[in-house]
Amino acid sequence: TETLTEDKRSDVVSTISEAVGVSSDAIDYRSVGPTFGAQIASRALLALAVFVGVVSLFIAWRFEWRMAIGGIAALFHDLVITAGIYSLSGFEVTPSTVVAVLTILGYSLYDSVVVYDKIKEIETEEPRLGYGEVVNRAMNLVLMRSIFTSLTSLIPVGSVLIVGSLLLGAGTLTDFALALFVGIAAGTYSSIFIASPLVAALHMRVPKAEAEPPKQPTKVKEVLEEGAAAPRSVAGGSFDSRRPISSKGAPRPPKKKRR
């Protein structure tokens, strides 16, 4: 909107004071200009940078650096989708929008970390599987869980969006609920179809000797090695190479000497 001149501002204050029934001195006004918007944007970018840095270090320490890259890529995907829809809707960027965006970051990374934890679990239990197969199995196991969790969050957020925009006409609720609704929906998609495939693609670019640790021997191999090392026995007794063997394969009992 245009910046009001002093005369127009006085007219607005007088009109409000007459309509409400209070004196003009009791009405306070504040001008919101580009400086306020720039201040919100700078603080939002600072909060985003700190969040991304801390989360990247944690994921790289807890899992691996490839998973940190996948999680951050999915995170920026959610932010771009949310900002695009928010811009197309024509809503004003307010502090409530910044709070909603920071909440989206938590939801997006939560879904990605759940998938990463399942990948590590399957990789430990099935060391002979290829990494692509491990990621595919983890995605199949976590898919329905992520969908149901997101639906549980989207239903109340959608209710707030409908009530705030249609019934109450509250701009603050609408700004917050719209950004949160779009971000949660985008986070459900990105954690499954962006973060995990990107991690698998990064693993495939690494040489096999570097990407895969030395695998432990399987249980079958361990049993065979133990059987080869143990002394052989025949018919409940130990095998003696000095005793003759009959045609049936069992050692003959020693002959008794006649007195």
For residue 55, what pLDDT band results from cuts at 50, 70 and 90?
confident
- Note down the domain range covering 221: 217-252
pLDDT above 50 (res 160): yes
Give the predicted TM-score (pTM) of the model. 0.62
**Domain match, 199 and 231 both:** no
- By the 8 A CB rule, do 119 and 194 touch? no
Q: Give residue for tokens 């691996």.
A: 64
Examine residue 64 and state whether it is found in any structural domain, yes or no.
yes
Examine residue 159 and state whether it is found in any structural domain, yes or no.
yes
Mean pLDDT in residue range 37-55: 79
User: How many other CB atoms are there within 10 angstroms of residue 251's CB atom?
Assistant: 17
Alpha-carbon distances of 198 from 41, 49, 119, 150, 201, rounded to whole Å = 30, 22, 13, 22, 5
- CA–CA gap between residue 223 and residue 225 (Å, rounded): 5
**Domain match, 79 and 134 both:** yes
Count up the domains in the chain and report the number. 2
**Domain match, 155 and 72 both:** yes
| Six token digits for residue 178 | 């719209």
**Domain match, 236 and 162 both:** no
Q: Is 252 left (phi over 0), alpha (psi -120 to 50) or beta?
A: beta
Q: What pLDDT sits at residue 32?
A: 60
User: How many other CB atoms are there within 10 angstroms of residue 215's CB atom?
Assistant: 8
- CA–CA gap between residue 147 and residue 185 (Å, rounded): 9
Under DSSP, the state recorded for 242 is: T
User: Tens digits of per-residue pLDDT, 92-130?
Assistant: 777 777 788 888 888 888 888 888 999 999 988 888 888
| Six token digits for residue 91 | 């809503």
Residues in the chain: 259
User: Tens digits of per-residue pLDDT, 225-234?
Assistant: 555 555 554 4
pLDDT above 80 (res 40): no
**Domain match, 191 and 111 both:** yes
User: Which are the contacts of 176, defined by CB distance < 8 A and separation ≥ 6?
Assistant: 96, 97, 99, 100, 160
- CA–CA gap between residue 31 and residue 220 (Å, rounded): 77
